[in-house]
Structure 1
């Protein structure tokens, strides 16, 4: 008689072979280096967009190069990557313990464990599906963008593991492992897990960018100081930004009539400077200056107190 442990091994082997074929096809379509670069670009873009949006700047108007986003990607990806590696190690360890337990337990205990996995996994997937359908009502809930992919990914993972066991029990290891329908369903569930991980990582990258923006707003003196002379007024609404009317030796107005202090350089792109006041407030403004229409001087290191 074939035991549940043997059936489980055949199921896992069949699913692993199918996943290997899927990975081989994807590897021939998308080169590994290209895929990694695309992921770094995406997560760097998401983080940078959230960071600059806090100051009212649309990252798309900066004209940043692809390598700029790639260089910004490691910081928002570091914590999610470490967390994913630790979670994967924990899951591999737990799966090994379950395999040893299945070898010693009776068929009734194994089937009960399968039913528990299906129940928990189905509940999580159902909850994630309800959250997706209820997006218009709960989409503004702050944890929504993380809770939904985590519930969906974890539920799909549990269902995939339960299906491989159930498929092996139904078909029998001697007849080739998992049934084709069960194997395909397990592969689709694994792809759902991958998509959920991608979604959760993108959410964390967005939160990372927003967190960096808030930390920067608390101490904008880390940015280069800027003195701007313009011919047209900027109409500063921030009290920290000082305006001085310039005059020539004879007391008449010069070409550059206004001088502004108390500004910091936030970003530069597409031939324009994006300046913020030294102290940011919820009502703070970001000023856009064209260097061709203004005289700009920078101080990259503040004078010591």
Structure 2
């Protein structure tokens, strides 16, 4: 008679595997969420240029993730280079303090200057945040403000880190540390550092989202300049569309028995295709043009033309 021990062992093994996978699952989930967000921001800016709300296209999560590498490429490269440079700079400063032994008065003077500079830069960022209603039309606002937060917060936190490093230096003698519960200011300092860390992470997120938005708008303008790169479409309809564009060519199809399509439209390009519809634009950009939404069903007939490039 089975006492259930086998089932318990199987459950235990599954639990152990899940626990071993947990450290990898969490970062992958966070990364996927970030890729989705930046792909969405970039796509929204791209299709908004053509008068389309991205939510009407019907793109899925995978579609947005696949569109995220381009807007994220420059920010990721910059963050990697800045991070590597920061680590090298910190290693050089740490080595100079511990091995060379700079005069403590000079070091404290430099740390004090870094703290003051960081506080001033953070104050400038706070002023810009509260003055949003006055300077929101400034094109660089959404980039300059978070960069000030990152710079000021980074200087302040690094100055604190150097202060801790000096506390361990040989010239200060044996370090006498007060327990956290006996030092009323310890909790306040930790809380202040934590809040600055949150500000820095939020500002990095803000900068990257701004770059993603600008990337989408830049891609939209590049697409508008070179609309001829998009797939060429010939559209047949049962009714006249009365398009505003002067670029699109309209012709009436000859009457024939069983023929239900009456009008043909040329010089259209496929901008994007959603779940059940296509978005077509004229092949030459004009401010008076509009995007044509075509359902993918039997109400229209669509042909895709070959490129005019002989093999």
Q: Give the TM-score range, shorter chain.
A: 0.7 to 0.9
Equivalent in the alignment of 1:189: 196
SS at match of 2:176: helix
- Identify which range, 181-190 or 162-171, moves more after superposition: 162-171
Distance 2:122 2:149 in 1: 5
The structural deviation recorded for 1:236 is: 2.0
Alpha-carbon contact 1:246-1:254 (below 8 Å) kept: no
CA contact (8 A) 2:255 2:262 kept: no
- Provide, for residues 36-92 of structure 1, a one-character-per-residue CA deviation record: whole Å limited to 9, x for no partner: 110111111111111111111111111111111111111111111011010011111
Task: Tell me the CA shift for residue 283 of structure 1.
Answer: 2.7
Match among 152, 177, 180 for residue 175 of structure 1: 177
Equivalent residue runs for 1:1-305 within 5 Å: 31-103=26-98, 104-166=101-163, 173-175=175-177, 179-249=186-256, 255-292=260-297, 293-299=299-305, 301-304=306-309
Structure 2, unaligned stretches of length 5 or more?
1-21, 181-185
- Provide TM-score, normalisation by structure 1: 0.83
CA distance in 1, matches of 2:123, 2:288: 42
Gaps of 5+ in 1: 1-26
Aligned to 1:175, what secondary structure does the other structure show? coil
Kindly name which structure, 1 or 2, has the bigger radius of gyration based on alpha carbons: 2
Superposed displacement of residue 99, structure 1: 2.2
Aligned residue pairs: how many?
276
RMSD: 2.5
Q: Which whole-Å CA distance do the structure 2 matches of 1:126 and 1:196 have between them? A: 15
TM-score of the pair, normalised by structure 2: 0.81
Whole-angstrom distance in 2 between the partners of 1:174 and 1:168: 14
